[in-house]
Amino acid sequence: MRGLRRAGVRTLEEANRYLREEFVPEWNGRFARRPAIDLDAHRPLRKDHKLESILSHVEERTVGNDYTLSWKGKRYQIPASQAKPRMRQAKVRIEERLDGSLVVLWHGVAIQLGECAPPALFAPESPLAHPAPPKRKTNWMEGFWIGDPAKRRRFLPQLQSPDGLLPLREKTIDQGELLTLLL
């Protein structure tokens, strides 16, 4: 950045010219060294080396219980013909090759993948399609109160009959009656 500023570079073409004619020759002059031995140290590929696998981007994924896995925001499914019993929850190696293809390896065996269809978007139904049932007032607590009925009236609203017209009579049970009912 400092060299670009000193050279007065303002455009991309000027920056490329500066890099090509000034910066790279200076960099190579400072840091480039001749090798001690001019022998080429590269070895030939063996038959078990797979260059496309070596040069690929590799990650590990876990296979789901439904034989699916995710990669870059997409879901992929292993076909039923290639699914094996111990494959669920197993780790697989995903290789993204330089040509953009995906290869999945499980215990060294290549597995084909099929892309899953995107999930259907959930559209909530309109509130008028299924109206909520009306709330009913129930008297399910009647007969369960132990103690002074006056205190009960303070904590519970006045009970009404099912038709809502007349108030129900409260039936109070003392502890002795309750115990005999339970036994």
pLDDT tens for residues 84-132?
889 999 999 999 999 989 999 999 899 988 888 887 777 666 666 667 7
Intra-chain end-to-end CA distance of the chain, in Å: 92
Is 104 inside a domain boundary? Answer: yes
- Top pLDDT among 48 and 124 is at 48
Edge-to-edge strand order for the sheet containing 74-77?
A: 68-71, 74-77, 114-115
Please give the C-alpha separations between residue 87 and each of 13, 64, 67, 73, 80, in angstroms, as whole numbers. 54, 9, 8, 21, 11
Q: Are residues 70 and 23 in the same domain?
A: no
CA 183 to chain centre: 55
pLDDT band at 141 (very low <50, low <70, confident <90, very high): low
pLDDT band at 183 (very low <50, low <70, confident <90, very high): low
Is 169 inside a domain boundary? Answer: yes
Is 18 inside a domain boundary? Answer: yes
The number of distinct structural domains making up the chain is 3
Is 61 inside a domain boundary? Answer: yes
